[in-house]
Amino acid sequence: MTAKIAYDEVEVGTELPAQTFPVTRATLVRYAGASGDFNPIHWNEKFAVEVGLPDVIAHGMFTMAEAIRVVTDWAGDPAAVVEYGVRFTKPVVVPNDEAGALIEVSAKVAAKLDDRQVRVDLTAMCGGQKVLGMSRAVVRLA
Q: Under a CB-based contact definition with an 8 Å cutoff, are residues 22 and 100 in contact?
A: yes
Domain covering 7-140, topology: Thiol Ester Dehydrase; Chain A (3.10.129)
- Cα–Cα–Cα angle for 135, 90, 23, rounded to 5 degrees: 85
Question: How high does pLDDT run on average in the chain?
Answer: 97
Mean pLDDT in residue range 32-38: 97
pLDDT at 78 exceeding the cut of 80: yes
Which of these, 2, 6, 124, 129, lies nearest to 68 by C-alpha position? 124
Whether the pTM exceeds 0.85: the reply is yes
The gap from C-alpha 129 to its chain's centroid, in whole angstroms, comes to 14
For 42-65, write each residue's pLDDT tens digit: 999 999 999 999 999 999 999 999
Q: What residue segments make up the domains of the chain, in order of their start?
A: 7-140
pLDDT at 2 exceeding the cut of 70: no
For 109-125, write each residue's pLDDT tens digit: 999 999 999 999 999 99
What is the reported pLDDT for 109?
Answer: 98
